[in-house]
Structure 1
């Protein structure tokens, strides 16, 4: 059996994920709302499973929209300034701003790290996953089990993150950087 996602399945799945993310609804919450398992919902979002008409209608209802809105999905997304999801770590003051998530394996973030602050240690991502750091302002140290990199404003580094990793602001001003996470 061919497991390659069909274009219409991938488009429908992308529309579901985009609407769910915009609403701040988790897969678990959507599963509770629809009665469809999180495993099936995840496969639908990735375009690896075509839902029955009943399930497609349940998903649309769980997301508070009509099925046609999901079927006529235009992948163009515009998020206005101030509408991005912003999380602030209460202990460190590190801000994480979600800029875009065009598909499940790519995420674009902006971080603001106060002077002297260190992120938590991030667990290893799946094999061959990478993170691209672009420093907008300040100085940032990136740590992995293999190396430590020091980056300054204007620098860009691509780092393999299939191991524990973290970052630290070693400068005297806030470090601002854009981070793109790409799954393996």
Structure 2
């Protein structure tokens, strides 16, 4: 996986996780002392999150950094199993 693919997949993962909790981008931003514009850019895959930012996201979601990344790994594995629609 290259950097752009990681950014895109991680953003989609965060978006789905946030929506599963019925949170708005602003809700998540407030939990991690950030702003919704940054959350929006992250979810669109426009930024590469630092390890600090990923750690803050984990805290915002109420889990550890390891748990969040394990969930992301499972998300990526599931995406890769879905056949392409080409």
TM range (shorter): 0.7 to 0.9
Q: What root-mean-square deviation, in Å, do the aligned CA atoms of Structure 1 and Structure 2 show? A: 2.0
Q: Determine which structure has the larger helix proportion and give its number.
A: 2
Partner of 2:46: 48
Question: What is the alpha-carbon distance in structure 2 between the residues aligned to residue 70 and residue 34 of structure 1?
Answer: 19
Query: RCO higher in 1 or 2 (8 Å CA, sep ≥ 6)?
Result: 2
Do structure 1's residue 6 and structure 2's residue 4 form an aligned pair? yes
CA spacing shift, 1:70–1:47, aligned 2, 3 Å: farther
Equivalences for residues 18-37 of structure 1 within 5 A: 18-37=16-35
CA spacing shift, 1:60–1:68, aligned 2, 3 Å: same
Unaligned runs of 5+ residues in structure 2 are 80-86
TM-score of the pair, normalised by structure 2: 0.73
Q: Determine which structure has the larger strand proportion and give its number.
A: 1
Q: Which has the larger radius of gyration?
A: 1
Does the 8 A contact of 1:60 with 1:70 survive in 2?
Answer: no
Unaligned runs of 5+ residues in structure 1 are 78-184
